[in-house]
Amino acid sequence: MNTATLQQVLTLEDAATFLRLPEETVHRRAAMGEIPGRQIEGAWRFLLSALEGWLQTPDQRSVLLSQAGALADDESLEELLAGIYTARGRPEVDPDLD
């Protein structure tokens, strides 16, 4: 394996330096699956390309927030919503909350 390939695999310390974050933060977020990495026999390893891709991908919350209100002006929304509640056999308004 050549040196260039080895430099593509980062240790926890390397990944923290690359991300400019404390090692504890990278460790915690990787363990929660929020940062792409693998734990191998107790040691964390990160692919540089995976970290670069992760940084370039908007998080799901940002995507959802950017789409919020996208259907607000859709004239068929009320009919669609009523159909969904009907199909589920539930009222649109919870009678227990009135």
What's the mean per-residue pLDDT of the chain?
A: 84
**Percent of the chain whose predicted confidence (pLDDT) is above 70:** 81
pLDDT, average across residues 82-97: 80
pTM of whole model > 0.85? no
Helix axis angle for 12-19 and 23-31, nearest 10°, is: 110
Q: List, for residues 2-43, the tens digit of each pLDDT value.
A: 665 567 999 999 999 999 999 999 999 999 999 999 999 999
Domains and CATH numbers, the chain: 7-59 (3.90.105)
Q: What is the DSSP string of 59-81?
A: PHHHHHHHHTTTTTT-TTHHHHH
pLDDT of residue 65: 67
